Amino acid sequence: MVSLNNCPIPYEEMNRMNRALSFHGSNSGNIWLEKNVGLGQRLVCITPEDQFENQPTFSKDRNFVFVSDGLIHNRPELTQTLRIPIHEAKKMGDSEFIARAYEKWGEECTKHLIGSFAFALWDIKKRSLFMSCAPTLATKPIFYYSSPQIFIFATMPKALLTFPFIKKEMDLNHLADFLSRTPRELGSTFYKSIKLLNGGHSLSLQNSQLKIKSFYNLNNIQELRFPQDEDYMEAFNELFERVISDNLRSITPIGVSMSGGLDSTSIAATASLLLSKENKRLSSFTEVPHKGFKEINSKYHHSNEIPYVQAMGRIYPNLDLNFIRTDGTIFLDDLDTFFDAAEMPFMNTSNRVWIESIFKQAQEQNIRVLLSGVGGNLTMSWDGKGLLSYLFRKGKWLSLFSQACHIGRENSQSTAHVLTSQLLFRVLPLSFKRNALKIVQKEDPILKLAHPWRAYSPILPEFFRAQRVEERARKKNHDFYFISRPFNFCHWRQSKLTPLLQSYPNYFSGYQALFGIEERFPAYDSRIVEFCLSLPEDQFMRKGDSRSFIKRAMKDKLPQEILQNTKRGLQSADYLERLYQARVRILNEIKIMEKYKFIQSVIDLKRMMRLAENISLANRDQIQIRYDYMDVLQMGLMAGKFLLWFEKGNSDPLDANPLES
């Protein structure tokens, strides 16, 4: 906290913030306070090096005081570059490496740090504040409030809300964007007065001047070219082993959330091999549908991960398999507990049931670190769908035609159809694409609507228009039909990777607080992201075989059942059965929401009520059913419950209609 009018900061104000965050750091909580500046830090011990943390701390020259939450992966390289004696480095917490890096490079230090970190430091001589967040999913967020009189920041909104002048008011634009699946404004949150410092960004404050800049840019990555295919595999495996090894730092056993897909099994395989060298075990956790569930087995999807996971167990003797069943539960259960911890609605609604069940079982096994394959489909297991446009841009006409033939044979399509759909179609105007798809994909309800968001969003149309969602979405080049695939898929992947940093900032912090478990995402590690984006597109698609790169890289580590599987697993495949079993409860939840004018004016409760009254297990595979129940009904329930929680404690908070104000 920095008082910009030089008024002294009362200790009690800092202590209130400290107490508010005690749930998020149970090992210790310290405060440093000097006149108009205060810093605080709550510690949770996850790695062996955390025992050396004692923050807030001063730099060696005592020019700045410093707080951080971080996991620095390039400690060995920094030890050498910064000329730190090895015996000294072994007894340094990760925060000390960040501090040493700042001493050498100043604000450019972020470009030399690899890992998940969020830190803030007060430069005593310059009288300036500098903060930064790493471009990774596991990084703790930094929320802040800024006014001409004061600047306050914390890793969770609840600490800022201890100040009476920071009102708990909903940002209606952010809410509308969330409900309509529109990219949120950079730095916006559900709280009108509270902003977010996004991953890959730094903030500086000096003489009341606040500046925010990005230090992480994926647009300048150059294509990597090796003489032989084997060189790509060798480079990736060497990097991947290093990344996995860096993510195994923990004072307790390691776990992995594992499906039968390529990303999580690649992580599990590599982690198992590394841990076996130390005679350590790895626990995997896999969601399976309820007993008696009728399996979904379509052309592109399956709903049974068990055979693939069991195949992994046969190869890796130190891999302990845990199959998670969640019979009789629904995502509505105990939602306020999640809201209290994360202070945001749960994004992928159906998944909450099995994700929390995995956390609970991991917690029972004293696991504090859980690896996850999130982000891998855009990095190491990218399917290579941009191959033909890539070959076209390179002028490789013979290869283009040959690969189109292979893709056609693999998908039972003519070469002409492949060239039209995957090359010509990409350069056509968006309006033409929509009209063409209306003919080809007649069953897709999105394409039938003039307002496509109506198919998958519970937002009330009047609220959508009042918040000018379409106008703001146009400025972000957002397509509500989700068909605006570009000609350059590398750029498209870059554009999809970056928003993830804004979508889940306090989600992971909430779960760490609830269960004492830190999720880590090797497939989204900045080193893996940059390496995979630098690969030529023809590494990902070979002779019609999508996701070829990761299959070739893992050919000696993964079982054939996984390598040869062409289908993707369905998460929460039994979501409709859960809704059907809880239909009376769902109707009652909607009736409660109908009592509040605010919710009535934001969410289409009448539509949700109709859907709830007509829940049926028939036609569960239809696209319309998934839109109606997985998106509209479930997301509407999640949003409504979040609004009830958000306004708890305010005087008649939901008794107003924002459209009338």
For residue 650, the model assigns a pLDDT of: 65
Chain centroid to CA 503: how far? 6
For residue 446, the model assigns a pLDDT of: 84
Report which of 615, 627, 649, 654 is spatially closest to residue 330, judged by C-alpha positions. Answer: 615
266-299 residue pLDDT tens: 999 999 999 999 999 999 999 998 887 777 777 7
Report which of 157, 147, 118 is spatially closest to residue 17, judged by C-alpha positions. Answer: 157
Q: How sure is the predictor about 228, in pLDDT bands with cuts at 50, 70 and 90? A: very high
For residue 79, the model assigns a pLDDT of: 97
Contact 44, 512 (CB under 8 A): yes
57-80 residue pLDDT tens: 888 888 899 999 989 999 999 999
Q: What is the mean pLDDT of residues 565-586?
A: 89
Question: d(Cα 370, Cα 363) in Å, to the nearest integer?
Answer: 10
Question: d(Cα 460, Cα 657) in Å, to the nearest integer?
Answer: 12
Q: How sure is the predictor about 502, in pLDDT bands with cuts at 50, 70 and 90? A: low
DSSP 505: T
Letter string b/e over residues 571-607, b meaning 16 or more CB atoms within 10 A of that residue's CB: ebbbbbbbbebbeeebeebbeebeebbbbbbbbbbeb
pLDDT(89) > 90:
yes
Question: d(Cα 130, Cα 119) in Å, to the nearest integer?
Answer: 8
For residue 500, the model assigns a pLDDT of: 67
For residue 445, the model assigns a pLDDT of: 81
Contact 40, 56 (CB under 8 A): yes
Q: What is the mean pLDDT of residues 231-236?
A: 96
Say how many Å lie between the first and final Cα of the chain, rounded. 34
Q: What is the mean pLDDT of residues 425-442?
A: 74
Q: What angle do CA 383, 385, 386 make, to 5 degrees?
A: 125
Tokens for 640? 């409504």
More confident site: 653 or 1: 1
Question: d(Cα 24, Cα 343) in Å, to the nearest integer?
Answer: 12
Instruction: Write down the mean pLDDT value for the chain.
Output: 91
pLDDT(649) > 70:
no
pLDDT(652) > 60:
no
Q: How many CB atoms lie within 10 A of CB 14?
A: 19
182-227 residue pLDDT tens: 988 889 999 999 999 999 999 999 988 999 999 988 888 899 999 9
Instruction: Please state, in angstroms and as integers, the Cα–Cα distance from residue 392 to each residue in 25, 388, 483, 488, following that order.
Output: 53, 6, 21, 10
Tokens for 155? 């890793």
For residue 654, the model assigns a pLDDT of: 72
123-161 residue pLDDT tens: 998 999 999 999 988 888 999 999 999 999 999 999 999
For residue 486, the model assigns a pLDDT of: 66
Q: What is the mean pLDDT of residues 395-417?
A: 92
Sequential DSSP letters for 83-120: T--HHHHTT--HHHHHHHHHHHHGGGGGGG--EEEEEE
Tokens for 592? 């409660």
Place of tokens 């297991």: 381
